Structure 1
Amino acid sequence: MPFAELSVQEIDAWHELRADNPALDSPYFHPGFAAAVQASGRPVSVVVVRDSAGAVSGLLPGHRQGAVLQPVGWPGADFQGPVFATGRAPSPAELLADGLRVVEFDHLVRPGPDFDPCIISSEPSPCIDTSGGLDDYLGRASRSGKDKMKEARRCLAKAERDYGPVRFAIDVVDQDGLTRLIELKRDQYRATGSRDYFAQSGHIQLMHRLLHTREPAFGGVLSTVHIGDCLMAAHFGIRSDHVLHWWFPVYDPVYAQLSPGWILLREVIAAAPELGIRRIDLGRGYDEYKRRASTGGTSVHRAFITNSSTRRMLHSGRHAVVNTVKMSPLAPGLRKV
């Protein structure tokens, strides 16, 4: 059904089911995220699963194209899957409701063993335990993580010697700052040949809407580092209760020699207790900075749910071909595909 047609009781059930399941504490599973996506101009549909008594037992928000459903926020949602109470996951077949023939994920949080036949591949999704702030983090961090934090402290001192005072804002509503972050991120996409997430105006609208979402249990978080009036580094993410999702970090290449991204991350970890943040999710992949900074993590999965064996076989074949080419010399050209 359309997200806008969910009843108060169904939204309440969403909150209750998610609160019962610690595996769904990422802000992507909060109904506020689906609401922000819907308000930014992308229609959101919700599969509502009910038990034998008619009570809501699961919900899956997403974007529907004909008989195909992709998770809400696709392709920018780093955690995906149905919302359900612990130990009571809906079956894959129950998600193929209302005429759906395919449900596709690229960051699925595994609901249970019934989904294993649908999983195509898995990747790590690291995180940082920030409980206790910077001092406690340093006690948990890897050697390379500690080294990068020391380097960030030295680079901060050098920045202040060379350029003047450095200003930090850990959670600020700054329209101009977010606009500049998006400009720098788009420059980064062009420089690396990556697909430009912000080429779609609706994605920019979503960022600004989330920036102004300031609910106690859900909202956007913009963190910035300035030298004078110049934005040195910034990050925009979303939070829910004690979890911050590290979504769009960027820095001005002019200051690259000062490790601005690490300076920012160090300050956010230090400020985490004040913000009530106990974990920072870094998202799928094991980039160097994630490997160095992380203290733990989970896995997310590509999965394809269908009741057609032919459709499943064709999708698996396509995925295998794309993976093979991405590991070949043609890979840089595929980043925009």
Structure 2
Amino acid sequence: MRVEAFAALTAADLDAWHTLREANPALDSPYFHPGFAAAVHASGRPVHVAVARDGGRPVAFLPHHREGRLLRPVGWPGADFQGPILAAGAGFRPLDLLGNGAAGYAFDHLVEGAPGFERWVVSRRPSPYLDVTGGLAGYLGRASRSGKENMGQARRRAAKAGRELGELRFVAASSDPKALARVVELKRAQYAATGARDFFAGQDRVRLLDGLLRARDPGFSGVLSTLHAGEHLLAAHFGLRSGGVLHWWFPVYDPAFARLSPGWILLRELVAAAPALGIVRVDLGRGEDEYKRRAKTGESVVCQGLVTRNPVRGAAAAALSKARSVARSVRARRKP
């Protein structure tokens, strides 16, 4: 396995990347499309790719960043699905990633069943999704009771917003840079209010979203959806799309209109628009958030762990993961 700069990959390499990904259903998330690695690299954050070749022919790719002696998946900490790009059923040797000063490969959203990684997995968490085949009617036929109830409430609150604030307008795929700037502004305010780490503190992350909004690859792009009532932006979402999969990435709403649950209204509009957009699945990303639990029609599993030859570092990673799991359980029990 040889590590190459993303910019050094040839057109033939990228064609092989596409071929491997398209032949493996486990890699249909937009995070595995080379367009995502390209956008991250273009934002100013260097991307390297570990490439395994067989007789000169690429058989596996793993895009990543290097931080000192640690390797991290491309786009970390904003990459909600991770793993090597390779043919279904092919093998992979994670230890081959190490060397030349790299002592570990840390992952936190590795797709379940990624070949070769099992011994380094220290925890697993659900990653909910919505099957939106058939649009709103199809979704409601598969949704849980709470999902149906919340969608019904969203319909009634949408009507109320229209009466009180002005005509409701939903744009499934906006190209408005001002609306994207508002998404970042609202998201940063949310991070500050909840004490979460500010993903957009680094300007490269803002540049990443700007670049994704401008992306025009027919197989990969950023998707900005907005919901207005009159002059007011109630809610918006910026995500990634590849083929029939949309990844729910940065949803926001204006707290001034929280009483209307605008996030649910936006989600309902997006589900209804799915057939016209060619979307059959919306990945909500890892987490046990209440709205994800209510809205989901199913879930996949993502794994956390550390590939290392050092047993002490491996044990420390396992202990840290367990401590975080306990902390999440405590917070969940304290919620009303």
Same fold (TM over 0.5): yes
2:239 equivalent in structure 1: 237
SS at the partner of 1:170?
strand
- In the TM superposition, residue 280 of structure 1 has moved relative to its aligned partner by 0.2
TM-score computed with the length of structure 2 as normaliser: 0.94
Structure 2 CA distance for partners of 1:318 and 1:291, relative to 1, 3 Å: closer
Residue 129 of structure 2 corresponds to which residue in structure 1?
Answer: 127
Please state if 1:182 is matched with 2:184.
yes
Q: 2:202 aligns with which of 187, 200, 203?
A: 200
Alignment partners' CA distance in 2, 1:325 and 1:282: 22
Assess if the C-alpha contact under 8 Å between 2:253 and 2:262 holds in 1.
Answer: yes
2:102 equivalent among 82, 100, 103:
100
Question: Counterparts of 2:74 and 2:213 in 1: how far apart (Å)?
Answer: 18
Unaligned runs of 5+ in 2: none
Deviations 1:18-63 (A, max 9, x none): 0110000000000000000000000001111123x33211110010
State the partner residue of 2:261.
259
Q: 1:220 aligns with which of 199, 210, 222?
A: 222
Q: Indicate the residue corresponding to 2:10 in structure 1.
A: 7
Superposed displacement of residue 9, structure 1? 1.5
Q: Separation in 2 of the partners of 1:324 and 1:276?
A: 40
1:30-69 superposed matches below 5 A: 30-51=33-54, 53-69=55-71
- Tell me how far 1:111 sits from its aligned partner: 4.1
2:259 maps to amino acid:
Q
Tell me the distance in 2 between the aligned counterparts of 1:277 and 1:99.
Answer: 42
Is 1:27 aligned with 2:27?
Answer: no
Superposition pairs of residues 79-98 of structure 1, within 5 angstroms: 79-96=81-98, 98=100
CA distance in 1, matches of 2:234, 2:38: 32
| Aligned mates of 1:315, 1:82 — CA distance in 2 | 21
The one-letter amino acid of 2:142's match is: R
Contact preservation (8 Å) 2:157, 2:261: yes
Contact 1:49-1:95 at 8 Å conserved across structures = no
Distance 1:237 1:89 in 2: 31
Offset of residue 307 of structure 1:
1.8
Which amino acid in structure 1 is aligned with residue 167 of structure 2? P
Return 305-314 or 178-187, whichever deviates more: 305-314
Match of 1:306 among 305, 308, 319: 308
CA distance in 2, matches of 1:57, 1:305: 21
Give % identity: 55
Q: Is the 8 A contact 1:224 1:233 kept in 2?
A: yes
Amino acid at match of 1:89: G
Which amino acid in structure 2 is aligned with residue 23 of structure 1? A
Q: CA deviation at 1:99?
A: 4.6
Identify if the C-alpha distance between structure 1 residues 249 and 328 changes in structure 2 by more than 3 Å, giving closer, same or farther.
Answer: same
Amino acid in the other structure paired with 1:35: A
Distance (whole Å) between structure 2 residues aligned to residue 233 and residue 147 of structure 1: 20
Deviation at 1:66, TM superposition (A): 3.2
Task: Please give the root-mean-square deviation of Cα atoms over the aligned residues, in Å.
Answer: 1.7
- The one-letter code matched in structure 2 to 1:128 is L
Task: Write the mapping of 1:145-156 to structure 2, written as runs, cut at 5 A.
Answer: 145-156=147-158
**Helix, strand or coil for the counterpart of 2:91?**
coil
TM-score scaled by length of structure 1: 0.93
Give a deviation string over 1:237-291, Cα, whole Å, max 9, x none: 0000100000000100111111100100000000001010000000001211111
Distance in 2 between residues matched to 1:271 and 1:41, nearest whole Å:
34
**1:77-123 Cα deviation digits (max 9, x unpaired):** 10001100000031222333555321110100134463211001000
What letter matches 2:305 in structure 1? Answer: A
Deviation at 1:170? 0.6
1:2 corresponds to which letter in structure 2? A
Is the 1:89–1:111 Cα contact (8 Å) retained in structure 2? Answer: no
Q: What amino acid is the match of 1:142?
A: S
Number of the residue aligned with 1:335: none
1:215 match: secondary structure = coil
> Residues 97 and 110 of structure 1: is their aligned pair in 2 closer, same or farther, counting only changes over 3 Å?
farther
Question: Secondary structure, in 3 states, of the residue corresponding to 1:89?
Answer: coil
SS in 1 for 2:150: helix
Q: Partner amino acid for 1:168? A: F
